[in-house]
Amino acid sequence: MEAEGSKSRLERDYVYIKDKPSDKMSHHVAKEVRPYSSTVSISTTKQWEKELLEDPKNRLALSTLTSNDAKAVLTQRSATIANTQNFNVKVDVEGAPITNQRASGRCWLFAATNVFRVAIMKRYNLKEFELSQAYLFYWDKLEKANYFLEQIVDTVDEDLEGRLIETLLGAPVGDGGQWDMVANLVEKYGLVPQSLYPDSFNASSSGTMSAILTTKLREYALELRQLGSRSSNAKESLGAAKEKMMREIHLILTLMLGPPPNPGKDITWEFYDKDEKFQSLTTTPLKFAGELSSQASIKANSGTNVHELFSLVNDPRNKYGQLLSVSRLGNIVGMRPVRYVNVDMTTMKTACISMLRSNIPIFFGSDVGKFSNGTSGIMDIDLIDYELGFNTRLGLSKAHRLMTHESAMTHAMVLTAVHVVDEKPVRWRVQNSWGETSGSKGWFVMSDRWMDEFVYQAVVDPRFVSKDVQDVLKQKPKMLPLWDPMGALA
């Protein structure tokens, strides 16, 4: 039996167009029973329209919503006032300048390098600094192409029209990625300052390049499947064909992004530090990245070795305290797979607050398009009142949104501050990568309730979670299928 308060809420939420609510409700359904219809009746819809427009409120809504953006009309002023850029816990170095991924899907690379750069800025006493996102982008595209072709060779016996091959062919070499994938890139290729490999046109506007690569890889996939089907040992018979394909992908990438620095060859970075003193450093990309694990860098970064960070996720469909992974999701063959330690939101937020109190920024993944405004930079579930405009709620839970593919990790950003009241977080400061014209000069604010609903991932230092959480990494992971929402690439 439902509690009285629950019954009252159900009655209040139920939309009655004509008849008054019955005193007796059974299973959330009004007393009147209508015959089931499998078709749309024109006469019924016109009757609904007549009854709808008898209400002056609906006539006002019609006039307003047909002439304006519904999100703008339904934005609640109270939410814009409440979400200020004031925080009582904030890292001492947030990183500057505000970055801009422009017309590309590289948010994960920007978020990751925005975390990495803080340690470098502290180490070398810098006021502003950017790592080259394009450098990692180049190698990621090349590695993803190889990873895709390897998956095609490994699945030559799968049905071309089956869900697995359909998913692989859907986005062979997309711009997006995950934390473990950027960790792979840094381990194999290192890092370089942006000044030594700046964005080309096709790095900042990647659509044409991605379309060309996608078309070629789909063409290669059919060719490899055809060749592989003729041989009992596909990999032995496809070596020459695959090498030719990879050489063509390399050609396209090099001509559109420019030749990148050699990971093992010397580069010379010249810069002015915060005191306007000229400095020069000669190193290799691999050594430059490895410097993040040096004692000097770890000390400068409050004891954190960025190479040891790992992903917590909140996936309420699956058991907490469980290691999750996604089948056939990755970018570099033979390196670490995508791994998530599934925890409740309290565990995730507690770790984040502890890291911010220790001056460590946090890479996180979320569904940024829900209940948010890119111009104001506000993310709050109370920001847009859809019920006011349409007399109906968007009532899916977080688990249900994942089950129905309504939501997923679509964007990666960085946490740099939190406002805590009575030991509970109220709002969070977010560094985005959409330039200074978005949000408050590039900064967003996220309500804690929005975090509960639409944040799925936070990359944390193992020092700030319990041993039980750390030990989850030792488990054999539960493998999710490639099309699972947790396989979405930010």
Residues tagged active-site: 107, 411, 432
Rounded to whole angstroms, the Cα distance separating 372 from 187 reads 35
Q: CA 292, 301, 423, 365 torsion: positive or negative?
A: negative
Tokens 């500057």 sit on residue: 96
Q: Which amino acid, residue 21? A: P
| Angle (nearest 5°) at CA 408 between 403 and 411 | 175
Name the pairing type of β-strands 372-373 and 378-379.
antiparallel
Query: Bridge partners of 281?
Result: 269
Inter-residue contact 393 to 387 (CB < 8 Å):
yes
Tell me which residue of 184, 117, 173, 108 sits closest to 141, measured CA to CA.
Answer: 173
DSSP string, 118-180: HHHHHHHT-SS--B-HHHHHHHHHHHHHHHHHHHHHHTTTS-TTSHHHHHHHH-TT-S---HH
Name the pairing type of β-strands 411-421 and 424-431.
antiparallel
